[in-house]
Structure 1
Amino acid sequence: MPNSFHLIRWLTDEREKGTIIWLFNIGAEKFWNPVQAGIVDVNEDRIVSRMEEMNLLLCREQDVIILRERPDDAFLEQLRAWGFSIPRIWTPAPGEERASISELVLRDPELLGRLTQLGVEEPDAVLVPYAVTRLEEAIAKRCELRLVAAPSEVNASVNDKIGNREIAEALELPVCRGRICDSIDAIREAYEELTTGEGAFERVIIKEPYGASGKGLYIVDAPDKLNTLLLRLGRYAKQHPDARWLVEGWYHKIGDVNYQLYVSPEGEAEVFSIKEQMLRDTVYIGSRFPVKWANGEDEAYHSFGEKIGKHLHAIGYTGVAGIDSIIAEGGEIIPVIEINGRFTLSTYLSFVSRVIGSPLTYLSRYFKLTTDYPLPYAEVNELLQREGLLYREDTGEGVLVYTSGTLPVRMDESTGKFNGRLFALIAAASETRADELSSRLEAFIEAVQRERRGDEVGSHPGR
């Protein structure tokens, strides 16, 4: 009889239980709500897909992780040295680069057969994807695996920003001033209401129901900018008469907070991680944790999470949900800005302190990199060590680069450049020290990119 599954316990106190099959199917939004793809950047899509490697931070040795490509051996060796468990790594047969990881799995009979056999040999095996769409349901059905998550249609409904506001209103939670609009005229009226009169906002944010990483969000700070946006939204509305938007005031705030919620199959709701988000406008650039609270906000967030989790379970949702919130000037918590009914990048960092140690301050950062030469993982670490930035176990401080496949290691044939992203976790004994290391890391990234420009005279590292 398979063990009762509880993700948080399996990752902490019950690490010996069962087998988790991990699948980082980022980009699930396009399967929940098919829209025009617009301009496709194949190189950027490739980099995003290789963020899958951060899933290794959650794995246990008995687990299986399905990755598009096997990670750099130097990266795997470094993870082991830091104390992370390396699971069995399975990869599908190579295919179209724009295909999702789940599509590649479904096109690979050999891998499907291995997954089926795994389910027979290890009856406690469960499939835990980043998100659930019809594709992951097809994998589970084809391989007779237990998919421990809500149905894809429930996942899609929870990842609706307008539906998120409706959940908050139904639970009588504080919400941002604003309203749901079903026409261009209604958007204009809402903008006028929010930007005039007592308590007027300087800026307004207009949200489409779906989207991730800042997509589908429009910050409007002037009537002419609104008019330009409404022309575009109006064209969309003519083809989609049921379209809706959320229009809210843009708050001055003292904090952006993400809290990770787990809703078990039995209906338990647990907030297992809270992080202060670092945003540039609407785009996430990093997190700080653990959060140092001034007025008991930690207790409030656990209370909000339990209330939201019970509601999500009542509508059929189970699994991880990442909830974005703000603390407005004056200290009011607005607990639901957005609910992501899936894993988020923050989820994968939630248990690193069990490996690296605590009490410490952690600061996650990521940087876009463009060079004229490849910059593989081992060389990045060598350069960081040379600058005195690489994480050291004896001091408990420094920078841990926690993906390898996202680094600039493959040439973009359209530009001849090597593009990538560096995902870094800074461990430090204090927030002041973490900020100091973060500033030094920024300077390091700038210096590396300058040295790697082919138009500058002189040698560059590793050439």
Structure 2
Amino acid sequence: MGDPGAEFVLLCNFEAERAWGTGAVGLPAIPSMTAARPALAMEELGVCLAAQGDELLLGRPLDASFRAYLRSAGIAAPAGITVEGPGIVETADRVPSDARALARLRAAAERGAYLLPMGSTEQTRQIATLTGLRYAAAEPAVAARVNSKIYARRLVEEVGLQAVPGVCCESVEDLAMALAIEPFEPLIVKDAYGVSGRGLMRLDSPARARRLLEMVRRRAQRTGDDRLHVVVERFLPKMCDLFYQFTVARDGTVALDTVLETLLDDGVPQGNTARSPWADKHRAEIEECAVRIGRQVHRDGYHGVVGVDALCGADGTLYPVLEINARLNLPTYQLPVMQDRHASGLTYALSRQYTLRLRHAPSFEHLHTSLSPALTPDPDGAHAVLSCFAPLNALAEQARDGRTFPGRLYTAMFAPDPDSLARLELRMRHSLYALTGERHPNKLGATPCMTP
């Protein structure tokens, strides 16, 4: 990294937290494969980050019409290396047993290419070792440590940043003490390796806190294991959620990449805006925090991209670290397209995830036709870009006997001014209604913003 002419093989392993969390004991939960399929399909987002000459590892090939669309949108659709294997198995886990994929990767290694995973795990490190690809990421053990929310809370205390009131819990009794606050205040309990709303519980009453503690104690008695890996934090009224990304070079240099406002729907990220009033107000403070955090994680052995979730309290106080994501993040994949549009004068942008209820799996041609009012540039240049296609139909097998299935659509919208952006987002919603018959694909309205 740092070599502008370097060739990369991208591996977008969006389920890296599952690997890092192996052995960690979190909140009681029922595993669900329905959550895994869309996350695996999200690896297609790598098309937006890849440069000309890069390659992208995929569990299924890019749709030919989607590839043609990317090129028409000015996105360098990378060469795809399709890895054979079952649909519910991560691409990283399939590679070692796919001889054709290994041969392609070894050929890339002979050209001096790097393997760039979304998150560094033992599986991704093994792929680099098997193929001879140079490894453009920190070592897996370091990544696993830095990505823990327990690590993040302790780092905040160590470097003297403003912390959300709370504690780390590494045993059942730690949790009992954390929940025994008087008088009771609403709390958030988070798994050390939870992500995107998974492994998170809000406790609004003492009764709910007691029920959680009872469940955790019963599990500990059943398993004979008293360990726990969660953080408990006070629920704070807020103005907004923020996200910022910085890059830690191998020599420890820290560079702030972007500051965004995060759009949430029931605690789950649904998109980002940039240059919001709150992001602007706290940008200098965030840049200072990024340097302090970056220096600390570098001392602990990490280099690469870091994304941090932050919160702006109702009183205007910045809490600069809710969690540290020592990996590529969803906005990481959107930034190259945003920066390209910004350079052409489309300085306002909005990235959004829409969740659609579908009865049939639409082809990309049908999707493109349905959304053409938003995808076709206005006279002022305003237009939307589709970031990937596979997550839309990842759960299509559920569409039986008249049932619908949820599909994820990832978009980015660009315009020269906030009014134009608002009109564009409205056209996108009208187009989605024409596609699905639903007036509210999700709860959030249009939010004007500016790219960095």
TM over 0.5: yes
Is 2:75 the counterpart of 1:84? yes
Aligned to 1:260: 245
The CA distance in 1 between the partners of 2:407 and 2:129, in whole Å, is 35
Aligned to 1:401: 386
Provide the secondary structure at the position in 2 that maps to 1:244: strand
The CA distance in 1 between the partners of 2:282 and 2:276, in whole Å, is 10
Q: Which amino acid aligns with 2:407?
A: G
The one of 142, 148, 156 aligned to 1:168: 156
Aligned to 2:14: 26
Is 2:293 the counterpart of 1:303? no
Is 2:409 the counterpart of 1:422? yes
Aligned to 1:204: 187
Check the 8 A contact 1:374/1:418 in 2, yes or no: no
The one of 179, 184, 207 aligned to 1:224: 207
Q: Which amino acid aligns with 1:204?
A: L
**Shift of residue 142, structure 1, vs aligned partner:** 0.7
The one of 69, 78, 82 aligned to 2:60: 69
Shift in CA distance, 327/318, structure 1 to aligned 2, threshold 3 Å = same
Deviation per CA, 1:98-146: give whole Å up to 9, x if none: 21111111111221122112211x12x1110001111111111111111
Q: Which amino acid aligns with 1:362?
A: A
Aligned to 1:137: 125
Check the 8 A contact 1:391/1:427 in 2, yes or no: no
Check the 8 A contact 2:346/2:415 in 1, yes or no: no
Aligned to 1:372: 359
**How many pairs were matched up?**
430
Provide the secondary structure at the position in 1 that maps to 2:392: coil
The CA distance in 2 between the partners of 1:259 and 1:42, in whole Å, is 30
Q: TM-score, normalised by structure 2?
A: 0.88
Shift in CA distance, 140/185, structure 1 to aligned 2, threshold 3 Å = closer
Aligned to 1:51: 42
Question: Percent of pairs identical after alignment?
Answer: 27
Higher mean displacement: 233-242 or 145-154: 233-242
Deviation per CA, 1:404-442: give whole Å up to 9, x if none: 111237731574545421112122233444344434534
Is 2:367 the counterpart of 1:360? no
**Shift of residue 332, structure 1, vs aligned partner:** 1.5
Deviation per CA, 1:377-418: give whole Å up to 9, x if none: 221221122xx3224164221322211111237731574545
**Shift of residue 329, structure 1, vs aligned partner:** 2.0
The CA distance in 2 between the partners of 1:431 and 1:204, in whole Å, is 36
Q: TM-score, normalised by structure 1?
A: 0.86
Deviation per CA, 1:242-282: give whole Å up to 9, x if none: 31321111111112111112111121111111110011232
Aligned to 1:289: 274
Deviation per CA, 1:190-246: give whole Å up to 9, x if none: 3443x62xxx74x21011211111111111111222122222222344433231321
Q: Which amino acid aligns with 1:57?
A: C
Aligned to 2:303: 318
**Shift of residue 351, structure 1, vs aligned partner:** 2.2
Check the 8 A contact 2:370/2:434 in 1, yes or no: no
> Structure 2: which 5+ residue stretches go unaligned?
439-452
Is 2:138 the counterpart of 1:150? yes
Aligned to 2:88: 98
Higher mean displacement: 27-36 or 70-79: 27-36
Is 2:412 the counterpart of 1:434? no
Check the 8 A contact 1:256/1:324 in 2, yes or no: yes
Q: Which amino acid aligns with 1:333?
A: L
Q: Which amino acid aligns with 1:448?
A: L
The one of 389, 392, 395 aligned to 2:374: 389
The one of 331, 346, 351 aligned to 1:346: 331
Q: CA RMSD in A?
A: 2.5
> Structure 1: which 5+ residue stretches go unaligned?
452-463
Aligned to 2:443: none
Check the 8 A contact 2:371/2:432 in 1, yes or no: no
Aligned to 1:275: 260
Provide the secondary structure at the position in 2 that maps to 1:448: helix
**Shift of residue 367, structure 1, vs aligned partner:** 1.9
The one of 106, 115, 123 aligned to 1:116: 106
Higher mean displacement: 329-338 or 307-316: 329-338
Check the 8 A contact 1:376/1:409 in 2, yes or no: no
Q: Which amino acid aligns with 2:168?
A: I
Provide the secondary structure at the position in 2 that maps to 1:351: helix
The CA distance in 1 between the partners of 2:137 and 2:279, in whole Å, is 35
The CA distance in 1 between the partners of 2:14 and 2:82, in whole Å, is 16
The CA distance in 2 between the partners of 1:446 and 1:231, in whole Å, is 45
Shift in CA distance, 235/270, structure 1 to aligned 2, threshold 3 Å = farther
Higher mean displacement: 153-162 or 400-409: 400-409
